Amino acid sequence: MRHTHWTSLTLLAACVSLVACNSDSDSKKDDGQAGGTPLVLNIAHVNDHHSNLEPFAGTAMEFNGQQTLVELGGFPRLTSLFAEAEAQLPNLLKLHAGDAITGTLYYTFYQGEADADLMNTVCFDAFALGNHEFDGGDEGLVTFLEHLNGGSCDTPALAANIKPQIGTPLAPAAQDDYIKPYVVKEVDGVKVGIVGIDIAGKTQNSSRPLPTTVFEDEVSAAQSAIDELRADDIEHIVLLTHQGYENDKAMAAQLTGVDVIIGGDSHTLLGDFQSVGFTSAGPYPTVTRNRDGDTVCIGQAWEYSKVFGHMTVNFAADGTVASCEGQASLVIGDRFSRNVDGVEVALSEEETADLLAQLDDMPEVVVIQPDPQAQAILDQYKGQIDDRKTERIGTASDAFCLVRVPGEVTNRSAGTAGCEEANLLARGSDAAQLVAEAFLDASLRADFALQNAGGVRVPMPAGEITFNTAAIMLPFTNVLVELDITGVEVVAALEDAVANHRDGSGSDGSQPYAAGLRWDLDLSRAKGERFSNVEVKSDDGSWAAIDPAQTYVMVTNDFIAEGRDGYDTLGLVTADGRSVNTFLLYTQSLVDYFGKVGTVNLPQRSDYSHQRVVDRDGNMLRD
């Protein structure tokens, strides 16, 4: 380890005198009733690591106004920080706020075993179930929880609002066989209740729980659990939630008896990170009030093993929160580089030493070495992944050619048998069409899927399909997003995409492709007149004209959903709050599709998004 700096360690030292720590609080004080005991509680937490176990190399951060490349995150670094916290901080709770699994090949290959092994290098005191814990159904969740509690750790999985039916995988004999509503921990002789809450609608609609598994209202279930704990004279209540930052704030105002909310799901970065060029959504901790008017402290630790959260909560003798402090810290390594004329150049030893010294005064960043045991476990899985990438997962009966804009001059599939004239055909990109089909299959809610042509990087030749095939076709870290979008907005988004390269200086990678959605396209016309006969495929396989006023569900990648690549209308839909991020890695959706279908054939011509196409010179392209 080269550098560790936690503001809350200093705060804890300053709070040895609890009277001093509580003196500025406007919370309710103990009026002298017997039995009240002040308490300082430390909470270390993470959330939404989504099978991202390796660090992110080449992440740009800003130091002294200079863009500097760092290695960000990695679960073994989190393990080191939890170990340090456990050694140095009294009264510590180690919490994970859900969505541990799905998102990388570590889940695709190991179905949660790798995540569980890394989590067990921490031994969390509690783990809240997230919506993605149900991506493999109730049975898949059982498999993960068996891995999680198959060793020396005993990590309770919490969700007070989930009630599996007895006799189903999650409740073979009793409803709490695998899922507990809460757990009680004794901290410095004082009992603290930790209540789990999972987001109900999103889990039911976008994951795969059994129909018999009941998801109760989050607020009602939380209050019921709090009331049970308080009936047992447990005054200190921590909610461990997976429902998003805004929902956490709204829930706090509706509950009585809640003190702390440690959350996940929205992948929210909290704290002040302007000094390093990162934007956050609010302060860490976020301080609000519950229904009683008492202080509630809210924390979340971003995503993907990149951030370590540490909160210190000072309780008054009457059980209410007197104050809370803390820091969510970006976790990085101690090697730095910069781009110089397009070449990555490592910082000198002197520059590195100067930067590390600077970081001593920056609690928003923590520099630490990976835990050796955790790193050894990760290295073992990584080596197996490298070997398994060559395993066959399917077969392509035809070549899936790579095209951006139908009729383009360049044949991007040159050298791929069967793609000799692919760029001259009206249907355009077989590869992009395939990806869109995989997206539509992965989403349980979507009416159709949209993919930009440039997001698909290589053609797929006929023959064997391996894991690496999907990784090379879709090499980025995009995730799938579901948008509630009107028919008129769909057509506007299509027009945006073509105008981006036809009228402006944008890349032709914006050209749209879709599954469950088709159109005629005239590239020789002006924006607003290029798309016609836009149709949506029904569940029975028939096609009908898109209804401008109807709201549909579109699944797409988060890159264009944010309005990038010229997709301005999609950006407005997202900004309007009509989007749900599934956090399903788009590469994994393609892997899952190959595994499900087995042998992949070219779609029927009528199912391609591009039907009749006129090129920019007014020539009708052939089928």
CA distance 81 to 73: 11
> Is residue 124 a contact partner of residue 606, using CB atoms and an 8 Å limit?
no
CA distance 574 to 336: 35
| Helix intervals (H) in 420-466 | 430-442
> What type of residue is 507?
S
CA distance 337 to 345: 5
Tokens 């349980």, located at residue: 444
> DSSP letter string over 93-162?
EEEE-S--S-SSHHHHHHTTHHHHHHHTTT--SEEE--GGGGTTHHHHHHHHHHHHTSSS----EE-TTE
Q: What is the value of pTM for the model shown?
A: 0.81
Residues of the chain with pLDDT under 50: 1-3, 5-34
CA distance 455 to 478: 9
Q: Is 191 helix (H, G, I), strand (E, B) or coil?
A: strand
> pLDDT tens digit string along 147-206?
999 888 999 999 999 999 999 999 999 999 999 999 999 999 999 999 999 999 988 877
Compute the Cα dihedral for 75, 78, 84, 90 and give only its sign: negative
Q: In angstroms, what CA-CA distances link 311 with 8, 238, 263, 434?
A: 7, 12, 12, 46
> Is residue 586 a contact partner of residue 474, using CB atoms and an 8 Å limit?
yes
Tokens 């999103």, located at residue: 202
Q: Which residues contact 412 (CB under 8 A, 6 or more apart)?
A: 402, 403, 404, 423, 459
Q: In angstroms, what CA-CA distances link 355 with 1, 272, 349?
A: 15, 19, 10
Q: What is the DSSP letter of 586?
A: H
Structure tokens belonging to residue 562? 């944010």
Point out which residues pair with 449 in neighbouring strands.
Answer: 515, 555
Compute the Cα dihedral for 13, 18, 23, 26 and give only its sign: positive
CA distance 563 to 458: 24
> How many Cβ atoms from other residues are within 10 Å of residue 597's Cβ?
15
Q: How far is CA 488 from the centre of its chain?
A: 29
Nearest to 355 by CA among 68, 55, 5: 68
Q: In angstroms, what CA-CA distances link 472 with 109, 324, 512?
A: 17, 46, 20
Compute the Cα dihedral for 553, 555, 558, 560 and give only its sign: negative
Torsion of CA 386, 390, 392, 395, to 10 degrees: 130
Point out which residues pair with 179 in neighbouring strands.
Answer: 157
Widest distance between CA atoms in the chain: 88
- Rounded to a whole number of angstroms, the CA Rg of the chain reads 26
> DSSP letter string over 227-266?
HHHHHTT--EEEEEEES-HHHHHHHHHH-SS--EEEE-SS
CA distance 287 to 359: 27
The pair phi, psi for residue 502, each rounded to 5°, is -80, -35
Tokens 């429902």, located at residue: 243
> How many Cβ atoms from other residues are within 10 Å of residue 232's Cβ?
9
Q: What is the DSSP letter of 76?
A: H
> pLDDT tens digit string along 423-444?
999 999 999 999 999 999 999 9
Q: Is 286 helix (H, G, I), strand (E, B) or coil?
A: strand
